[in-house]
Structure 1
Amino acid sequence: MASIKKRPDGTWRARYRGPDRRERARHFARKVDAERWVASVEVAKSRGEWIDPSLSRERTGTWCRKWLAAQEQLKPTTRVRYEGIISKHIEPTWGAVPLAEVAPADVAAWVGQLTSSGLSAASVRYCHRVLSLALGYAQLDGRLSRNPAEGIPLPRVKSKQKRYLTHAEVALLAQECGDYGVLVNVLAYTGLRWGEAAALRVSDLDLMRRRITVRRAMAEVRGRAELGTPKDHERRDVPVPMFLVDDMAAHVSGLGPDDLVFSGRGGGILRNGNFRRDTFDAAAKRAGVVGVTPHALRHTAASLAIAAGATVVLVQRMLGHASPSVTLDVYSHLFADDLDTVADRLHEAKINSGADQMRTSGQVILLTKEQGGDRDAV
């Protein structure tokens, strides 16, 4: 049980025993403050929300580093980005602040400061996400009773206008890219991410079945090309249109199973920056599709697939999205024609239903023998 006792110097000492059976105490100038503190502790204990004060005194900057070190599932590129956000945006504000003193209002003010500094809405949201994940881990570890970064209003991200190429534009771009024309068609008709295409090996191709198996992806980490698992660590099979099969077969002719399907001019992994500088950007200009990037061909693949009648689930599986909702978040506007088709079919069903009802719901009149009731039905 908690107790409050006046000390010789006139202050009040409040004591309680925590769930861990250890006794803790604080001193107050007024008895009423000691009583309030003890009462709040007892309520927290009864609700299972009690937090060991020694744990919540850890500095937020130190905790963010501990949290990041425990995230073994992160891909190298994500880890590097998280490290940069902690160093540049979190530690300058929160580095010396104890976890227990991080308040929602202060987090909201920090988000506002990031926005005012000129940081894009997407970057502000990413910074907030890193802080929120670290504080959520502190809550899981029993250092906080709640995550003070949850529910904070965030700036809205304005989606950029995407450029979707037509079949004719893709064909012209592929032609202008010369030896890399097959790569352009693969990106535009299979939806592979750049890192997935760059890491593709001949053994990943099953052209008899018209399938590409995505097993790995290349990522550039601090200037080095590293091979790892695809995004979300999910292996998937991607369909290859028939017209691409012969071109791909000719492209890999003479290569071994472990050879890269697409490599740099001097061999080795094809880097996005080198490809754009040496081939793609100039080819895009000649083809009249300035502003398109190799990654943007993934959007073209989605639009062409949807125009060909692919469902949300099929597009999701082809692109390797985590769920259909992710696909809809990005490409929902491309399914507008499908909505019209559904409405038209419902209209036709309703009209046909009404016609059937008119034919079958009338009053039945029995014919007498003289009226032909005994004639065979026609």
Structure 2
Amino acid sequence: MASIKKRENGKWRARYRDNNGREHAKHFDRKTDAQRWLDEVAASVVTGQYVDPNAGRMTFRAYAEQWREAQVHRPSSQAHVEMMLRRHAYPTLGDRPLSAILPSEVQAWVKRLCVGGADRKPLAPSTVGVVHSIVSSVFKAAVRDRRIPANPCEGTRLPKRERTRVVPITTDQVEALTAAMPDELRALVTFAAGTGVRGGELRGLTSDRVHFLKREVTIDRQLVGVDGATPVWGPPKTEASYRTVPLPNVVLEALQDHLAAHDAGPDGLLFTLGGLPISRQAFGHQWRTPARAAGIPVGQGLHALRHYYASLLIRHGESVKTVQARLGHASAAETLDTYSHLWPDSDDRTRDAVDAVLGASSTLEVVR
């Protein structure tokens, strides 16, 4: 039900009731403007795009927390999303009503994240992209819930990410790292360098996943956890991460020597610290000093050994699909995006291929 009535002050009052019986009203200087507003409301109801003006009064923080609790995330992902919202989104957007946040304000917020301020350092472009993606997901959910008509994050201009080329560490650095690690973690370094498995996959590796006779290891889970909590088993990163990786002799020998000196830990874990499962944080403490001594960037963590393994496969002529399968990448494009610069240059083969066909009839003298 809708109506337009002229008030004593000369204003035109347009009003309607929604499906819940709630009344909504707005005042205009002209009757035509009041009618246009009612027509727009009627059209949105017919097309299924109607949004209750009161639904967007919920604050971004309140809705984001409600959204966050409903997500099916791993414990580590839950902690990451909570931290990103709390540190980077709530200080600016948290107490604002959902419907009051404009695209221009989202753009200004992104700019502040990029340049920093007196109380905070600027964020890396990749981090800004992650935070914006999380906030955009919250607004997308609010649109689906009919709390707001549109996502104010759409169209935001984000800082350009500068892709840095992977520079693999050397064999000398791997050997120096192995020698500097605590005794119970030396075989872990050799295993990572010889298989390229991810940190969580390696820390969650149990003896029943290693097949000594077949010389292979099955990767079908990983150890995950958050700060201050006991790590738990979870699924691998992606569907492509379920895989079987061949074990070179050097890895098998290191593992056999390791098991002779250190029994498999609880639940058959191959690698432990003091007999306990290794959390990511605990391993980080053990990694930093040996990594610095070996000249390895500390921030790379076990990924430095994953890159080393990939570089070995590429150097010895393995195809893109093989490297993708060994690393558990979701697609060959991901493998090429990361390691394409490590494959040998094919310029000479290109010249030889053309010369082999066209060169026979060519009279061009090539100056050497």
TM-score (norm 1): 0.80
Distance, in Å, in 2 between the alignment partners of 1:107 and 1:347 is: 52
Residues 76-85 or 140-149, more deviating:
140-149
Distance, in Å, in 2 between the alignment partners of 1:308 and 1:22 is: 73
Greater Rg over alpha carbons, structure: 1
Q: Which residue of 2 aligns with 1:120?
A: 123
Cα distance change of structure 1 residues 304 and 30 upon mapping to structure 2, 3 Å threshold: same
Deviations 1:298-355 (A, max 9, x none): 22222222222233333333223333333333333223x2xx33x5444444334447
In structure 2, which of residues 309, 318, 322 is the aligned counterpart of residue 314 of structure 1?
322
Q: Which residue of 2 aligns with 1:93?
A: 92
Amino acid at match of 1:140: R
Distance, in Å, in 2 between the alignment partners of 1:308 and 1:176 is: 28
Q: Which residue of 2 aligns with 1:230?
A: 236
Distance, in Å, in 2 between the alignment partners of 1:351 and 1:193 is: 44
Q: Which residue of 2 aligns with 1:198?
A: 203
Residues 131-140 or 24-33, more deviating:
24-33
Q: Which residue of 1 aligns with 2:171?
A: 167
Alignment of 1:339-350 (within 5 A): 340-341=345-346, 343-350=347-354
Distance, in Å, in 2 between the alignment partners of 1:136 and 1:273 is: 33
- 2:144 equivalent to 1:140: yes
In structure 2, which of residues 231, 238, 248 is the aligned counterpart of residue 241 of structure 1?
248
Deviations 1:214-268 (A, max 9, x none): 233223413223212222375332232243223323433584694211111x211
**How far apart are residue 70 of structure 1 and its match?**
0.9
Q: Which residue of 1 aligns with 2:212?
A: 207
Cα distance change of structure 1 residues 158 and 225 upon mapping to structure 2, 3 Å threshold: farther
2:166–2:339 CA contact under 8 A, matched in 1: no
TM-score (norm 2): 0.82
1:215–1:230 CA contact under 8 A, matched in 2: yes
2:16–2:25 CA contact under 8 A, matched in 1: no
Cα distance change of structure 1 residues 226 and 271 upon mapping to structure 2, 3 Å threshold: closer
SS at match of 1:149: coil
Alignment of 1:357-372 (within 5 A): none
**How far apart are residue 157 of structure 1 and its match?**
3.2
Cα distance change of structure 1 residues 75 and 273 upon mapping to structure 2, 3 Å threshold: closer
Residues 92-101 or 199-208, more deviating:
92-101
1:201–1:259 CA contact under 8 A, matched in 2: yes
Cα distance change of structure 1 residues 14 and 293 upon mapping to structure 2, 3 Å threshold: same
- 2:81 equivalent to 1:82: yes
Cα distance change of structure 1 residues 186 and 7 upon mapping to structure 2, 3 Å threshold: same
1:15–1:26 CA contact under 8 A, matched in 2: yes
* RMSD (CA atoms): 3.1
**How far apart are residue 162 of structure 1 and its match?**
4.4
Deviations 1:148-173 (A, max 9, x none): 11221112334456441223432343
1:207–1:249 CA contact under 8 A, matched in 2: no
**How far apart are residue 111 of structure 1 and its match?**
0.9
Q: Which residue of 1 aligns with 2:71?
A: 71
Aligned residues: 350
SS at match of 1:53: coil
Cα distance change of structure 1 residues 60 and 345 upon mapping to structure 2, 3 Å threshold: same
Distance, in Å, in 1 between the alignment partners of 2:353 and 2:17 is: 72
Q: Percent identity?
A: 33
Amino acid at match of 1:231: K
Cα distance change of structure 1 residues 96 and 346 upon mapping to structure 2, 3 Å threshold: same
2:217–2:246 CA contact under 8 A, matched in 1: yes
Residues 83-92 or 228-237, more deviating:
228-237
Q: Which residue of 1 aligns with 2:365?
A: none
Q: Which runs of 5+ in 1 are unaligned?
A: 359-378
Amino acid at match of 1:200: L
Amino acid at match of 1:187: A
**How far apart are residue 34 of structure 1 and its match?**
1.7
Q: Which residue of 2 aligns with 1:372?
A: none
After superposing on structure 2, the runs of 4+ consecutive aligned residues of structure 1 that deviate more than 6 Å are: 355-358
Q: Which residue of 1 aligns with 2:110?
A: 111
Q: Which residue of 2 aligns with 1:375?
A: none
Amino acid at match of 1:61: R
Cα distance change of structure 1 residues 274 and 90 upon mapping to structure 2, 3 Å threshold: closer
